[in-house]
Amino acid sequence: MEFNGLPLHPLVIHLVVVATPLVAVGAFLYAVRPAWRWVLRWPLAVAAVIAAVSTQVAAMSGEDLKHQLHMSGPLIEAHETWAGRLQFGTWVLAAVVLVGCVLLPVRNRVAGGRDFSGRLAAFQPVLAVVLPVLGLLELYLVFRTGDAGAKAVWSGTPG
């Protein structure tokens, strides 16, 4: 996969490295700061989908780049392992964020706005715990994946 003659993987990982931590921090804030939900709700939902899709594209383009350059070895395998975990975690976080955007109550601060009481009140305490935990886990996965990828690229050895 290429974009304008450049491999797509090193280009799209920049979106992953920016969008995924933003979603993780946003999910944390969405859960622990109910007063901010009205402003975070839709940007967070859109960012979660962007992060998940960009992580998927990064995984596919990384696999393509690996085959194109005939790369293998323990450093590449470590990066692939962490990337797989990140990919799964990003999709899980996106799904839980979207559920949280629907189920957690939102108080609209805009003049004349209506409050959104949320649905299925039994899930609200669970989401208030799960969203911050997933956000912190996602930050860890982004760090470990990026670290493993950097070691694979900058180690000076092809494998």
For the chain, give every domain's residue range.
2-123+130-154
Q: What pLDDT is recorded for position 121?
A: 66
What does the alpha-carbon distance between residue 121 and residue 107 come to, in Å, rounded to a whole number?
A: 15
pTM for the full model?
0.86
Residue 31: what residue type? A
Provide the pLDDT for residue 96: 95
Nearest to 127 by CA among 27, 2, 17: 27
Q: Where are the beta strands (DSSP E) in the chain?
A: 2-3, 6-7
Below-50 pLDDT ranges, the chain:
159
pLDDT digits (tens, 9 = 90+) for 97-111: 999 888 887 776 665
pLDDT tens-digit series, residues 49-78? 999 999 999 999 999 988 888 888 899 999
